Structure 1
Amino acid sequence: MTTALGVITARSFIGEISTMFGLAEFNPSSERVSNFVKALCAQPGINCFDFLTAVTGKNCCLNASTIDFFLKNEPQPTSTKNFVHLGQTVRDGMIRKFDYGTNKNLAHYGEAKPPEYNLGNIPRDLPLFISYGGQDALSDSKDVETLLDHLKFHDVGKLHVQYVKEFAHADFIIGTTAKDIVFNKIVTFFKNQQ
């Protein structure tokens, strides 16, 4: 993750602090989270003037109406545990199962540290369409390339990889060109899997 806001949030153990205050849900629309984000945005090196860009990267293909629609419906709440797990992944730089702490990990996993997810266990014949962007600050190119390295022996015809150099995270969802560049290709890919 290359978004400064996301990295600072992860390295500040914000998810864990939220849990200590009894917050089971991380709701970006809530007053508590809104106040917290304002405080984060005041930190040196964080520019939240364009909040969507601060979180997702520089999107190329959004317009005012798509952003207004997006903000009416997003961002969606998630469990605080998901938020904590994301922070663990960012801090550790590894894709592991949830870290409960040494004692609980021993009880839960039989080892002190949570095990890494074995990406090699992804079935080789599972149809996968992976589309990623060169400007995405949440799911950056390096991370996607790591995933693709684990998929290098995937069955031919079952894996389609699309790289869109100018796209950031929100462009894939609400970009004015997403239908033509991404959605239609996803539909075609899965029709070809029948």
Structure 2
Amino acid sequence: MGTLTALSAFSEGKLVDKIKSAALLTPVAYLTYMTTPIGRAAGSAFSGEMLGALGVGEFDPKGRAVGTNYLEFVCAMPGVNCYDLMASFTGPNCCLNYSTVDMYLKYELQPTSVRTLVHFLQTIRSGVITKYDYGSSMANMVAYGQSSPPEYHMPNIPHHLPLLLSYGGGDMLSDVKDVQLLLKDLRNHDADKLVAQLVKEYAHLDFVMGVNAKQVVYDGLIAFFGKHDSCRKGGEREINHISPYNKSYV
């Protein structure tokens, strides 16, 4: 959600004057090829519009949504393996410290807004990145002055904005094909302002909790920030192979 929020803002020219560069880990823009079984199952089963109509504003996957424990319901669906909940949701993470995982699962999954989930599902269904669809031409007209929600055009992201995109070959949420759709939108970006890094072994949570994430991702990320920080001495140093696994390319 963080990367999609940033990309949407950048595409409208917002925030660009407030930052020097942006690093997007496991970037989500398109969700056409999302393969996570639990996400797909939840998407097909989740009638968020109905919950909204019933006045349910918060969705708690561990709670009872309209009388049903939703997580238990999804876990019972074919193809979903909730014995390994994170792999079913994020893909096969390669490099986690499982003491950290236990701490993570103690607090996750967290509640969120029903409208947020509906918005994500709209993106999955349509394959287009738009603002929230209120479900009727009249409601959209009131909100946007047009009958359908406006699109966020990723090619409109300012070409001079330094961007680093780091994504994983095993990620089922930020699928490689979806990231490639985003990179296609950014094909006219200034060549020296766009770095893309594919870490083939990583899935979604490896970028946050991987035992080797410092060496694989974060050392290069800090170097990227340093290169584009005009206030830092030596900021023009080169980034040499952000990841020891995969050569980064510009």
Q: TM-score, normalised by structure 2?
A: 0.72
How many angstroms does 1:73 deviate by?
A: 4.1
Q: Which residue of 1 aligns with 2:37?
A: 4
Q: Which residue of 2 aligns with 1:59?
A: 93
Q: Structure 1: 5+ residue runs without aligned partners?
A: none
Q: Which has the higher helix share?
A: 1
How many angstroms does 1:181 deviate by?
A: 0.7
Counterpart residue type for residue 132 of structure 2: F
Larger-gyration structure (1/2): 2
Counterpart contact for 1:10–1:91, Cα < 8 Å: no
**Deviations 1:168-192 (Å, cap 9, x if unpaired)?**
1011111111111111111110111
SS in 1 for 2:104: helix
Q: Give the Cα separation in 1 of the matches to 2:180 and 2:221.
A: 20
Q: Which residue of 2 aligns with 1:83?
A: 117
Counterpart contact for 1:11–1:91, Cα < 8 Å: no
Counterpart contact for 1:3–1:54, Cα < 8 Å: yes
Q: TM-score, normalised by structure 1?
A: 0.91
After TM superposition, which residue ranges in structure 1, 4 or more long, deviate above 3 angstroms? 72-77
Q: State yes or no: 1:119 paired with 2:119.
A: no
How many angstroms does 1:119 deviate by?
A: 0.7
Counterpart contact for 1:120–1:150, Cα < 8 Å: yes
Counterpart contact for 2:94–2:203, Cα < 8 Å: yes
How many angstroms does 1:149 deviate by?
A: 0.5
**Deviations 1:39-75 (Å, cap 9, x if unpaired)?**
1111122222200011101111112112022223433
| Count of matched residue pairs | 193
SS in 2 for 1:181: helix
Query: Which has the larger displacement, 5-14 or 159-168?
Result: 5-14
Counterpart contact for 1:172–1:178, Cα < 8 Å: yes
Query: Which has the larger displacement, 127-136 or 70-79?
Result: 70-79
How many angstroms does 1:9 deviate by?
A: 1.7
Q: Give the Cα separation in 2 of the matches to 1:49 and 1:107.
A: 45
Q: Which residue of 2 aligns with 1:47?
A: 81
State percent identity of aligned pairs.
48
Counterpart residue type for residue 118 of structure 1: H
Could you say if the C-alpha distance between residues 18 and 26 of structure 1 is closer, same or farther in structure 2, counting changes exceeding 3 Å? Answer: same
Match of 1:131 among 161, 166, 169: 166
Query: Which has the larger displacement, 9-18 or 114-123?
Result: 9-18
Q: Structure 2: 5+ residue runs without aligned partners?
A: 1-33, 230-250
Could you say if the C-alpha distance between residues 193 and 74 of structure 1 is closer, same or farther in structure 2, counting changes exceeding 3 Å? Answer: farther
Match of 1:31 among 53, 60, 63: 63
